[in-house]
């Protein structure tokens, strides 16, 4: 009988020890790894011409991800480049005067007119001299004066034409040509952007979480082709009971443990959700307040984040 009692006491003691050992630490929190994915798409649709990455691989910032067919965008860009060249040439032509051969022709006409003016001036002088002696008629003197005036006006006209020939177009015409160049350059910039968007690259180092299309398939505009997961977008989310939320602050260090051997990872509290989850409907008693939980987010260095996987359950323990 005494042996039975001793065995019973020993069994109860072992049961209590095991119960104490299996009791979870009250300071620990449960959470899971969350990934904020980056869905890379092109703003215009097209056939997937080349996929440069594979699912599960790593990419560096600036590395190519995929290329869609771009024949149409390339044609539009080339046309825009030619139109810019045409507009710039028209502007330069508007700023210039007439061609050298045209100016030479005007100069020759001016020389002829100046020679005719000199002759008309000599003729007028003779007629005026003869008129004082009465050797000619009044009509002869009038014709000489008219010929002199016409020759003088002709010389003045050609001189002004020569000055105008050395100038470009009027200021408002040049301004219109400059505006045309800017409009063509803007159209070229848009065409170049449209062309460049057919080939997407990685904005930063990331894991290729998934690829959603195969080469040769048609991709609609705005549809993601590659799903990236940068290390900075990996975080842990956990729910803190209401009685403990007041002891947690932004920037607090958190020890995160995953299943399997290894040392805990160190993270930092980056966000505390301002509203409670699972709020009881009406009565806020002491017992109901214990059911309130607040979500927090913990972030890591890129080296630590690369070791975590979205959906992975973790244990958290706040503290230094």
Q: Which domain holds residue 211?
A: 39-70+201-229
Burial class (CB in 10 A: 0-12, 13-18, 19+), 256: buried
- Residue 297 included in any domain: yes
Structure tokens at 250: 């932004």
CB 291 within 8 A of CB 271: no
CB neighbours of residue 201 within 10 Å:
15
277-314 tens-digit pLDDT: 655 444 455 555 566 788 889 999 988 888 888 989 99
CATH label of the domain that carries residue 125: 1.10.287.470
172-219 tens-digit pLDDT: 888 888 999 999 999 999 999 999 999 999 999 999 999 999 999 999
Hey, which of 88-97, 157-166, 285-294 has the most confident mean pLDDT?
88-97
The verdict on 209 and 250 lying in the same domain is no
The verdict on 57 and 137 lying in the same domain is no
Number of folded domains that form the chain: 3
- Residue 48 included in any domain: yes
15-46 tens-digit pLDDT: 443 444 444 445 788 899 999 999 999 999 99
pLDDT at 288: 57
Structure tokens at 12: 């109860």
Strand 46-51: give its sheet, edge to edge. 199-201, 64-68, 46-51, 218-219
The verdict on 299 and 314 lying in the same domain is yes
CATH label of the domain that carries residue 241: 2.40.30.170
| Domain end among 165, 189, 213 | 189
Q: Residues 182, 184, 187, CA angle at the centre, nearest 5°?
A: 110
125-150 tens-digit pLDDT: 888 888 778 777 777 778 888 888 88
Q: Residues 287, 288, 291, CA angle at the centre, nearest 5°?
A: 100
Burial class (CB in 10 A: 0-12, 13-18, 19+), 281: exposed
Phi and psi at residue 89, to the nearest 5°:
-65, -40
DSSP 3-state of 215 = coil
- Residue 11 included in any domain: no
Q: What is the DSSP string of 94-153?
A: HHS-S-HHHHHHHHHHHHHHHHHHHHHHHHHHHHHHHHHHT-S-HHHHHHHHHHHHHHHH
């Amino acid at each position: 009988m005494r042996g039975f009692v001793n065995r019973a006491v020993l069994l109860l003691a072992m049961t209590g020890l095991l119960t104490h050992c299996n009791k979870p630490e009250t300071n620990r929190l449960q959470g899971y790894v969350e990934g904020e994915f980056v869905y890379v798409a092109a703003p215009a649709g097209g056939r997937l011409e080349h996929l440069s990455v594979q699912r599960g691989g790593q990419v560096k910032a600036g590395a190519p991800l995929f290329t869609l067919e771009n024949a149409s965008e390339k044609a539009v860009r080339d046309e825009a480049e030619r139109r810019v060249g045409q507009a710039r040439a028209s502007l330069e032509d508007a700023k210039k005067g007439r061609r050298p051969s045209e100016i030479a022709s005007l100069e020759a006409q001016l020389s002829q007119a100046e020679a005719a003016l000199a002759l008309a001036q000599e003729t007028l002088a003779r007629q005026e001299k003869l008129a004082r002696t009465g050797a000619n008629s009044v009509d002869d003197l009038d014709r000489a004066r008219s010929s002199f005036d016409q020759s003088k006006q002709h010389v003045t006209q050609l001189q002004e034409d020569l000055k105008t020939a050395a100038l470009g177009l009027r200021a408002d015409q040049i301004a219109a040509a400059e505006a045309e160049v800017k409009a063509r350059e803007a159209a070229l910039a848009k065409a170049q952007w449209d062309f460049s968007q057919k080939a997407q690259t990685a904005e930063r180092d990331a894991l290729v979480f998934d690829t959603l299309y195969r080469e040769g398939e048609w991709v609609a505009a705005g549809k993601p082709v590659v799903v990236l997961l940068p290390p900075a977008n990996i975080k842990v989310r956990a729910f803190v009971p209401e009685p403990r939320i007041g002891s947690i602050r932004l920037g607090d260090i958190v020890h995160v443990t995953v299943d399997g051997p290894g040392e805990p990872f160190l993270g930092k509290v980056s966000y505390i959700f301002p509203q409670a989850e699972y709020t009881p409907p009406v009565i806020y008693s002491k017992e109901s307040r214990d059911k309130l939980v607040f979500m927090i987010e913990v972030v890591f260095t890129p080296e630590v984040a690369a070791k975590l996987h979205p959906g992975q359950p973790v244990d958290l323990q706040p503290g230094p």
